[in-house]
Amino acid sequence: MDCAIEALLRINFPPLDFDSTKDQIFSSEAVTFGAFEAGDSHLNPLRRHLLASRFSLLSSNLLVIVRDPIEFLRSAHAQHIKEGGYAARQEFFQEQKEKLLHILNLQALINDYEMFGFKVCVLPLELLARDPSIFWHEYENRLGGQRPDCFKMELNDRSHNRTNKRTLAAHATLNRLINHLRVAAETNDTFSSKDIETVLTWLKGSQNWGTRVALAQIDDSLLKEIEGCLALQKDDDQMNVPDSDYSQALRKHFLEPLADRDLFPYDDILDGYKQALDSDA
């Protein structure tokens, strides 16, 4: 393993072709979320370390956008459903615990990138929602660069990817039903393998995209019809910290580094994060 790591660290990226007269911004979920999608969660710290080492060849500044960790967990579960999943909230948090806690380990992220010479700047998403002008002023002042040319771009409903909380229960149940149908179709030996493959493709598309598209802008009357067919029970929208592992990890690895005012000079927002964690403990 050590030899493999050393070999990876010796790999050099070729120089990128870009306009050197403007600030260049690279943004990707792969840096903090997608990097941990590959399974083998015990390798997540290594993945984060290797990303930091590779990106150090391209930049010396890292901007981290943080948000209320409880809202992040809620959003992660909602995204799981929107991508075809159906696990109940607590089930999801248990199954994805290692991955989610690695993503929310802000201290490890900072340590890895600072080890490779990065200047780390942390800005809260809540500041952008509250007052965009202050957010972009902080962006320029703390990063020492220019804001993006498209900083005032208007996103449509799909690009915003906002969660429609009123559809989540129906969405998850429909995904679960389609998954049951996929299992049933796979075991049907009265049809040809080609027909089964076609049906499975349709069902997978329905689970991953069909339910998401159909429920994105559904009106209340049709949603009630669907909920009636599914015999859904009323969902409790209250969100509690999943367990003590989450609570302890969030306090130590997410809130503690934000207590450094040089890193995060937004006391009121940090207080809000603490209150959200305390109220759900």
pLDDT, tens digit (0-9, with 9 covering 90-100), for 221-255: 888 888 888 877 655 556 677 788 999 999 999 99
Comparing CA positions, the residue from 101, 128, 69, 73 lying closest to residue 276 is: 69
Residue 53 pLDDT: 86
Residue 108 pLDDT: 94
Q: Across the chain, which distance is largest between two alpha carbons, in Å?
A: 67
User: What 3-state DSSP class applies to 37?
Assistant: coil
Residue 54 pLDDT: 83
Other beta carbons less than 10 A from residue 267's beta carbon: 11
Residue 239 pLDDT: 67
- Both tokens of residue 245? 């592992």
* Contact (Cβ atoms closer than 8 angstroms) between residue 248 and residue 270: no
* Contact (Cβ atoms closer than 8 angstroms) between residue 95 and residue 220: no
* Contact (Cβ atoms closer than 8 angstroms) between residue 115 and residue 52: yes
Residues of the chain falling short of pLDDT 50: none
Is the pTM here over 0.85, yes or no?
no
Comparing CA positions, the residue from 183, 182, 242 lying closest to residue 206 is: 182
Q: Quote the CA–CA distance of 237 and 26 in Å, as a whole number.
A: 35
Residue 121 pLDDT: 95
Alpha helices in 104-167 (DSSP H): 106-115, 125-130, 132-143, 157-160
Residue 7 pLDDT: 52
- Both tokens of residue 177? 């039903």
